[in-house]
Amino acid sequence: MRRPACLGASVLASALLFTFPAAPATAPWPEFTQAAAPAREFSLPNRSSSLKFFVLGDFGTGSRQQYALGERMATVHRVFPATLVITVGDNIYGGERPQDFTKKFEEPYRELLERGVKFHASLGNHDAREQSHYAPFNMGGRTYHSFDAPRQDVKFIAIESDYPTPKQIAWLKEELASRDDWIIPYFHHPLYSSGRRHGPHLDLRATLEPLFLASNVTVVFAGHEHFYERTKPQRGITHFIVGSGGQLRKGNLDPRSSVTARGFDTDRAFLAVEIDGDELFFNAIDTAGAVVDSGQIARRKR
């Protein structure tokens, strides 16, 4: 398979600040966000002792756009050594033959995989449940699972949001009752969304949000909508949608929404995240290397 060419301009590193290629002249934010122009510099602290990871969703298309974003992730990784990637579902679109996993996953992220970056998947509505047995997704044959981060006191919980059975909810309650400083749920269907196509999953919100509020959940990662969105804190919890890893639905953010803090639906994007102590830092990055959203979130106290 012929791989796409590198996207160009190198990443220049200083002690704590890295500069990516300049963003397009036109700011990509929808006007309704009423926000300043997006940052042009990668600005995570990049501390030696911190937990660093990427968030990726709705990506497994095998398209040149997916490959381009995969190249950008590898470029970022050269200066920001994330140890893992959490996926928020729709990992493989269409056929799921062995050659499909090669074309739609192994090839686009080959450089990350060769560097030892581990992908920890959750399942979306386009994913066969058998993906839980695909070794590079690190699900251990379980459609919902949890794991502890290699650095910092962080637990990740991958929820199966298509079929939130009573058995899974009972398991989730036990997982959320742990004493980890950070508990980070991730799954496919968003509890809050400004998308015109799907919108928020209200039944799932009614089930999960009370459990999140009763624990120390601070951030939630989801996909399904084919754009990037960060909500204003909803009852104290910030919700991210990272659903444009391969698919993109331009112009799908609803300008009437009151929940959006930042929205981006003109290019594909992934999220780079860093946790150090009680602080979480994030940069959303598009295929050109522009940082289209960034910020810092303090952990909620139990």
Tens of pLDDT, residues 137-156:
999 999 999 999 988 899 99
Residue 26 has pLDDT above 90, yes or no: no
The pLDDT tens digits for 107-118 are: 999 999 999 999
Residue 259 has pLDDT above 90, yes or no: yes
Count of CB atoms situated within 10 Å of the CB of 145: 20
How many angstroms separate the Cα of 92 from the Cα of each of 60, 65, 187?
A: 4, 15, 15
Phi/psi at 271 (5° precision): -120, 130
Q: What angle do CA 57, 106, 83 make, to 5 degrees?
A: 65
Count of CB atoms situated within 10 Å of the CB of 251: 10
Listing from the earlier edge strand, what are the strands of the sheet with 41-42?
A: 12-13, 18-19, 41-42
Structure tokens, 18: 């890295």
Task: Report the pLDDT averaged over residues 236-262.
Answer: 92
The DSSP code for 132 is G
Residue 119 has pLDDT above 70, yes or no: yes
Determine the Cα–Cα distance for residues 253 and 92; give it in Å rounded to an integer.
Answer: 24
Phi/psi at 255 (5° precision): -70, -10
12 pLDDT band (50/70/90 cuts)? very low
Domain 44-289 has CATH 3.30.930.10: no
Q: Which residue has the higher pLDDT, 231 or 251?
A: 231
